[in-house]
Amino acid sequence: MNHPIPYGRQHITDEDIAAVNDVLRSPYLTQGPKIGELEQAFANYIGSAYAVAVANGTAALHLCCMALGVGPGTRVITTPLTFSASANCVRYCGGDVFFADVSSDTVLLDPAAVRTLLESHPQGYFSGIIPVDFAGYPVDMVAFRELADEFGLWIIEDACHAPGASFVSETGTEHRAGDGSLADLAIFSFHPVKHIAAGEGGMITTNNESLYKHLLRLRTHGITNKPTEFTAPYEGEPERGGWYMELQELGYNYRLTDIQAALALSQLARADSMLDRRRELASRYDSVFAEAAEKGIPVQIIVPPDGVIHAYHLYVIQTPNRKGLYDFLRTKNILAQVHYVPVHLMPYYRNFGWKPGDFPNAETYYAHCLSLPLFPTLTNDEQDYVVDQVVTFLKAV
Ligand SMILES: *Cc1c(COP(=O)(O)O)cnc(C)c1O
């Protein structure tokens, strides 16, 4: 191929561009009517009662931690196998990050490892868990809910990889990632490599009305202009008029613009078809690599069991000579990527005492993983080319 093939890429249509143009000619550029429309449409798509649009996925995580009262001394458990924002949000609020290992078959935060960590400390030691639907594989949120109820914890589901993912619980109930039925709060990102691209953008979903109202306030500085929410006494003040508003706590400017919301809305209308294409491409990869593995080619894939519906943000293979494969693919214009350097191995987190060997499953995965190109506009020809190059290299190993 004479053009580079990235591991992920946005898909922008003429309708998307027209939707953005309409906003540019409208009276509102930021936090106008498109925000409410997007929130409503996104909540419907995910299946939650409420949705709060924010500036990006990291801001979503930060506001969730604030709304749940994370502060100095608050201890929160997350996975080492994620983008660092899943842990950083706790630090923004001055809390302490703890990690537990992933399960080696799903590479998702392992509820059993979390239980061991919880049981090795007194009740009340930890406050919350941030599981991540890594690559688009939904975590077993029933197991985390049970732990949360038993140990008095809240849950923020980092569902950035998983809009449209779902699983069926033992009782036969279907749970969509971020639908508010099990986690207290869930977050999504509209970064261009994610399922829905808005340039930058994020969303928080929840079924909890009081958290929802609190998040709306935190998103705009902690200010409210709703008379029913005012708390300051009238005494000693001039008469209030329509201008009056209150800063009730310290929030941020984490607003999404209407320009971005229009783009996200337009993309959301195609979310199902884009997700279908991701799944189709993933299943084409699955069949080739399963066959290759049977022939003794050193490649391993993760295929979810029946009842688990993957959203395929990433398509990952594991192979012993990962560095060799990564370098070889670059020479062939294939920009495969590694997700992720485990968070506990980052210098910032090593400062807190985490070190190599702490989470063997996450580290073994990191040593072998490579994310191959996967995005809705990847053509079958491009994918066949990627597969040929990967198999050619691995056969020679
Ligand atoms: C992308 C991502 C984020 C952060 O989202 P931004 O919109 O880039 O801030 C957080 N967690 C995970 C797992 C992500 O993939």
Apex 122 CA angle, 121 and 124, nearest 5 = 110
Cβ 132 under 6 angstroms from ligand 1: yes
Q: What pLDDT was estimated at residue 234?
A: 82
Residue 233 has pLDDT above 90, yes or no: no
Rounded to the nearest angstrom, the distance between the alpha carbon of 216 and the centre of ligand 1 is: 20
In this structure, the chain runs to a length of 397
Q: φ and ψ at 376, to 5 degrees?
A: -60, -30
Mean pLDDT of 156-169: 97
The answer on 99 and 44 residing in a single domain is yes
Rounded to the nearest angstrom, the distance between the alpha carbon of 325 and the centre of ligand 1 is: 26
Ligand 1 nearest-atom number relative to CA 202: 7
CB-based burial of residue 380 (10 Å sphere; 0-12 exposed, 13-18 middle, 19+ buried)?
exposed
Residues spanned by the domain of 294? 271-396
Q: Whose CA is nearest to atom 2 of ligand 1?
A: 160
Residue 25 has pLDDT above 80, yes or no: yes
pLDDT tens per residue across span 202-216? 999 999 999 999 999
3-state helix, strand, coil in the chain (%, to 5): 40, 15, 45
> Across the chain, which distance is largest between two alpha carbons, in Å?
82
Q: What pLDDT was estimated at residue 397?
A: 72
The answer on 206 and 98 residing in a single domain is yes
Q: What is the DSSP letter of 103?
A: P
CA distances from 148 to 29, 76, 130, 208 (A): 40, 12, 11, 16
Q: Whose CA is nearest to atom 3 of ligand 1?
A: 57
Residue 7 has pLDDT above 90, yes or no: yes
pLDDT tens per residue across span 317-336? 999 999 999 999 999 999 99
Residue 56 has pLDDT above 80, yes or no: yes
Instruction: For residue 238, name the pLDDT band (cuts at 50, 70, 90).
Output: confident
**Residue 316: its H or E element:** strand 315-318
Q: What pLDDT was estimated at residue 1?
A: 79
The answer on 222 and 342 residing in a single domain is no
- Predicted TM-score (pTM) of the model is 0.97
CB-based burial of residue 103 (10 Å sphere; 0-12 exposed, 13-18 middle, 19+ buried)?
middle
Q: How far apart are CA 74 and CA 329, in angstroms?
A: 44
Q: Which of 7, 62, 65, 83 to mutate to test the pocket of ligand 1 (most atoms within 8 A of CB)?
A: 83
pLDDT tens per residue across span 349-378? 999 999 999 999 999 999 999 999 999 999
Ligand 1 nearest-atom number relative to CA 61: 10
Q: Whose CA is nearest to atom 5 of ligand 1?
A: 57
The answer on 244 and 117 residing in a single domain is yes
Give the orientation angle of helix 258-268 with respect to helix 33-46, to 10 degrees: 30
Write out the two tokens for 9.
């890429």
The answer on 149 and 37 residing in a single domain is yes
Q: φ and ψ at 351, to 5 degrees?
A: -55, -25
The answer on 124 and 154 residing in a single domain is yes
Rounded to the nearest angstrom, the distance between the alpha carbon of 387 and the centre of ligand 1 is: 28
Show which of 252, 268, 284 is a domain's final residue. 268
Q: What is the DSSP letter of 395?
A: H
Cβ 56 under 6 angstroms from ligand 1: yes
pLDDT tens per residue across span 36-50? 999 999 999 999 999
The answer on 174 and 119 residing in a single domain is yes
Cβ 57 under 6 angstroms from ligand 1: yes
For position 62, which CATH number holds? 3.40.640.10
Residue 380 has pLDDT above 80, yes or no: yes
Write out the two tokens for 141.
């949120």
Identity at 381, one-letter amino acid code:
D
Show which of 204, 233, 268 is a domain's final residue. 268
Show which of 225, 241, 268 is a domain's final residue. 268
Instruction: For residue 6, name the pLDDT band (cuts at 50, 70, 90).
Output: very high
Cβ 285 under 6 angstroms from ligand 1: no
For position 324, which CATH number holds? 3.90.1150.10
Rounded to the nearest angstrom, the distance between the alpha carbon of 135 and the centre of ligand 1 is: 12
- Number of domains forming the structure of the chain: 2
The answer on 278 and 264 residing in a single domain is no
The answer on 203 and 94 residing in a single domain is yes
Cβ 86 under 6 angstroms from ligand 1: yes
Instruction: For residue 237, name the pLDDT band (cuts at 50, 70, 90).
Output: confident
Rounded to the nearest angstrom, the distance between the alpha carbon of 83 and the centre of ligand 1 is: 6
Q: What pLDDT was estimated at residue 127?
A: 98
The answer on 205 and 90 residing in a single domain is yes
Rounded to the nearest angstrom, the distance between the alpha carbon of 244 and the centre of ligand 1 is: 36
The answer on 290 and 179 residing in a single domain is no
The answer on 160 and 20 residing in a single domain is yes
Residue 60 has pLDDT above 90, yes or no: yes
Higher pLDDT, 237 or 293: 293
